[in-house]
Amino acid sequence: MSPRKITVLGATGSIGVNTLDVLSQLGGPDAFDIVALTGNGNIDLLARQAKTFRADLAVTADEARYQDLKDALAGTGIEVAAGRSGLAEAAERDAGWVMAAIVGTAGLAPTLAAARRGADIALANKECLVSAGDLFVDAVAAGGGRLLPVDSEHSAIFQALEDDQRHALERIILTASGGPFRTWTREQMAGVTADIARAHPNWSMGLKISIGSASMFNKALEMIEAKHLFNVTPEQIEVLVHPQSIVHSMVGYTDGSVLAQLGAPDMRTAIGYALTYPARPKLDVERLDFARIARLDFEAPDETRFPALRLARTALARGGVQGAVMNAAEETAFEAFVAGRIGFLEMADIAEAVMEDMTGWPAARVTQDVFAADEEARRLARQRIG
């Protein structure tokens, strides 16, 4: 049997690096045919990865770094490309399994391209589902590939969902660590910097998702992601704060049973499951020691201190392009927060105001409509940031 063909979009990020670690553990370049690896600014790492994994193609999304990547891979025979067309090229080549791990809306176009040609999509980039919603799900279905969740919560639900008992599904319970400010007042949160906000108590992740965990915007995105992924109503989605991040999420059934998936806070388990599904790979990750963990705590989320959760419910209730709008406004506000231009709490204020501004925006019929809504939301957010 010829080796499985793999592409990793966003190979140089936190999920990308973990994906390559899983691929290494399962045999590396002798066991997998690495079709394409993509990155953005981290050219050294991308070049090293491409050489180690003997990739056919390495792509930087940043056109200005094309020559740097070309130089770094000179004499290796590895093809090099850059920019949007380079990302499209990476997505369109014939890998049967594509890890979608670019951060933000930048991941939507290449992931859609891979989905449309029928690749199995291992979805870390939740923004695809938050922005494009059912259009994205339909694109995967039309292509004929599978949509395999990588977000640890959605992987947990995917694992706890009994396919033949879907009719008996009552609710899904998304767990949330609560982030570094779980017990903080709004007054305390008002003055935090990006460096403080990025320090997650349990997970080691990229900057955007770390800050999203602190504001709970990440959970807001995950609520919308869950709706599209599991075809549930907003009322069936619950959020539960669980500071230890051991129970990754749960599914409640009509007989009162709740099935959970547990594990160490390590993305490699979810990535490995998406890679070998429905089989389970043998992975060198930490095993849970329940006697040492001793206790698991749960508490209701506080939507006053963390308004992002309320905004997700609003977006779900309004439907249409509100997911895309919330995501784009929040991404723009996040960039302004990291640049020190707005405060931590203002991120939610800006997202809420832009969502309000665009309430009457028509629902998307094609993905171009999603990009248009995304662009307008960014423009309005920038206007509010000033």
Catalog residues that contact ligand NDP under the rule CB under 6 A. 10-16, 39-42, 61, 101-103, 106, 124-127, 151, 203, 205-209, 267
Residue 14 token pair: 């936190």
In angstroms, give the least distance from the CB of 290 to ligand NDP: 23
In angstroms, give the least distance from the CB of 207 to ligand NDP: 6
Contacts of 227 (CB under 8 A, 6+ apart): 133, 233, 234, 237, 316
C-alpha 273/C-alpha 268 separation (Å) is 8
Cis peptide before 149 (omega within 30 of 0): no
Determine the residue with CB nearest ligand NDP. Answer: 13
**Residue 81 or 361 with smaller CB distance to ligand NDP:** 81
In angstroms, give the least distance from the CB of 118 to ligand NDP: 22
**Residue 65 or 361 with smaller CB distance to ligand NDP:** 65
**Residue 3 or 41 with smaller CB distance to ligand NDP:** 41
Strand partners, 150: none
Residue 179 token pair: 């982030």
**Residue 97 or 361 with smaller CB distance to ligand NDP:** 97
Nearest partner of 214 among 201, 195, 197, judged by Cα: 197
In angstroms, give the least distance from the CB of 95 to ligand NDP: 16
C-alpha 122/C-alpha 111 separation (Å) is 10
C-alpha 143/C-alpha 9 separation (Å) is 18
CA 329 to chain centre: 17
User: What is the spatial order of strands in the sheet that 247-253 belongs to?
Assistant: 237-241, 169-176, 247-253, 258-262
**Residue 83 or 118 with smaller CB distance to ligand NDP:** 83
CA 72 to chain centre: 29
In angstroms, give the least distance from the CB of 9 to ligand NDP: 7
**Residue 125 or 322 with smaller CB distance to ligand NDP:** 125
In angstroms, give the least distance from the CB of 101 to ligand NDP: 5
